[in-house]
A and B are shown apart, each in its own frame.
Chain A
Amino acid sequence: MADVLETKVAEPKEPVLAFGKKEKKLLTDPLSENNPITVQVLGICSALAVTSLVLPSFVISIAVIFVCAFSNLFTSLLRHYIPNQVRMIVQLVIIATLVSVVDYVLKAFSYEVWKQLSVFIGLIVTNCIIMGRLEAFALANKPWKSFLDGVGNGLGYGLILIGVAVIRELFGKGTLFAGSPIEMSIIGPSASYWINTAAESGIGTWFSWYANNNLFVLPPAAMFIIAIFIWIHRTWRPHLVDVS
């Protein structure tokens, strides 16, 4: 587990802001080959806590991309000055500061969403993806690469999070993006849903048997959905299969 991306930077003359093949790989690798959730097994807790609705998952994903990218950047900039014995405390101060920034920005610009999320924003501090990438990558690599690694891992995390949330909200509540301006009511027993299962005529009558599955709202459902994601992912990429 926790495939450590120990890439020692070989060429010292490289320009500071290059975007070549290696940099692109840093961005795309965490989307599938080295996905934080399904391959590195980091950051599961929030994946379970937040994903019963799409909107909070979306906001949390953006917050994680931001915190992960900039904490990677700052840790990488400071990597020669941090004594090994106190590195965790330094890293946590960086993370906690960035999380506070996200917290206050969200509070200022979107108070309703902040009220809904306040606990989970705080829990980004203990999201292991961020700490894991700092330990595994940013301490050994240059700032620009670390920044890209942070963005890539945040994206890979958001991809799974939103995937799980879409399934859980659709089957658990029959809606998508509930609470946001683009709220969609897909299926349910009243006229406000696109597919009205209580309707007398039309497409809804085909779904008169349908009822929301409350299991999908409970946290164990997220475990099953992620397990199925892992199954599909490893069928598609067999070299990721555990040998043990």
Chain B
Amino acid sequence: MEGSFVNIFIKAAFIENLVLMYFLGMCSYLAVSKSIKTAFGLGLAVIFVLAVTMPINWLIHEHLLSENGLFGRDLTFLKLILFIAVIASMVQLVEMVVEKVSPALYNALGIFLPLITVNCAILSGSLFMVTREYTLGETIAFGLGGGFGWFIAIVALAAIREKIRYSNVPAPLRGLGMAFLITGLMGVAFLGLMGIDPAALQ
């Protein structure tokens, strides 16, 4: 049983990386990857929000919305609104904590901290969890793995962008344009991981 949690973690982090395979959570990924420090902070925030919201959403989906839940009828049409509400309140909580603990990081993240709410990676994590019918343990593994994959991807991009500042890139392509190209190339590289079965690696 523990093996399957590790499988799901590795699969979510590398083989089905949320950013590089599904291209989810792109906006903050591109905009906050200018320096490793802010990328690191945002990556940690995403891991935290994913790891906390997904089990909560799982409990809501299983015990309130499903047919054998508290209300005894199929209320799954409410899942989008409820998931978003949970995510929004968690993000607001993270925002308050970061503001108190590290005002410098808070200023650096700027508008992109509230935008974690609309980070597609977070909502799609909860939606994947529903369509793939994970158990609670698998959901936690998937949340941690997905967040970890997102974290690695944004730190890697930030590191490349910090180095590429010393290269002679054509002026109009500098910054954002190069970020798009690098992400595209990373995505092509990650296409090569498609189809690897983590169970076979053990």
In contact, B23 and A49 (Cβ under 8 angstroms): yes
In contact, B23 and A242 (Cβ under 8 angstroms): no
Within the complex, which residue of A1, A46, A135 is in contact with B176, where a contact is CB–CB below 8 Å?
A1
Identify the stretch in B7-15, B39-47, B64-72, B77-85 within 8 Å (CB) of chain A at 4 or more residues. Answer: B77-85
- Name the B residues within 8 Å of A224 (CB-CB): 180-181, 184
Q: Would you give the 0/1 interface string for B110-124, flagging 1 where the beta carbon is closer than 8 Å to chain A?
A: 111011011110011
Q: Kindly state whether residue B75 has any CB partner on chain A within 8 Å.
A: no
User: Helix, strand, loop or mixed for chain B's interface?
Assistant: helix
Identify the stretch in B51-59, B133-141, B146-154, B166-174 within 8 Å (CB) of chain A at 4 or more residues. Answer: B166-174
What is the minimal beta-carbon distance from A218 to any residue of chain B, in angstroms?
Answer: 7
In contact, B181 and A223 (Cβ under 8 angstroms): yes
Q: Kindly state whether residue B89 has any CB partner on chain A within 8 Å.
A: yes
In contact, A48 and B176 (Cβ under 8 angstroms): no
Chain B positions 2-53 with a Cβ under 8 Å from a chain A Cβ: 22-28, 30-31, 34
Identify the stretch in A61-69, A171-179, A230-238 within 8 Å (CB) of chain B at 4 or more residues. Answer: A230-238
In contact, B180 and A131 (Cβ under 8 angstroms): no
What is the minimal beta-carbon distance from A239 to any residue of chain B, in angstroms?
Answer: 11
What is the minimal beta-carbon distance from A224 to any residue of chain B, in angstroms?
Answer: 5
In contact, B111 and A135 (Cβ under 8 angstroms): yes
User: Helix, strand, loop or mixed for chain A's interface?
Assistant: helix
Chain A positions 26-79 with a Cβ under 8 Å from a chain B Cβ: 38, 41-46, 48-49
How distant is the Cα of A92 from the Cα of B114 in the complex, in angstroms?
12
- Name the B residues within 8 Å of A125 (CB-CB): 80, 84, 118, 123
How distant is the Cα of A135 from the Cα of B88 in the complex, in angstroms?
14
- Name the B residues within 8 Å of A232 (CB-CB): 172
- Name the A residues within 8 Å of B158 (CB-CB): none
In contact, A231 and B177 (Cβ under 8 angstroms): yes
In contact, B26 and A44 (Cβ under 8 angstroms): yes
Q: Would you give the 0/1 interface string for A115-158, flagging 1 where the beta carbon is closer than 8 Å to chain B?
A: 00000001101111011100110000000000000000000000
Task: List residues of A whose CB falls within 8 A of some B CB.
Answer: 1-2, 4, 38, 41-46, 48-49, 85-86, 88-89, 92-93, 96, 122-123, 125-128, 130-132, 135-136, 218-224, 226-227, 230-235, 238, 241-242, 244
Known: A96-B80, A230-B176, A242-B175; 11 extra A-B contacts, CB below 8 A, are A48-B26, A88-B92, A92-B117, A125-B123, A128-B28, A218-B191, A221-B184, A223-B180, A227-B181, A231-B172, A238-B172
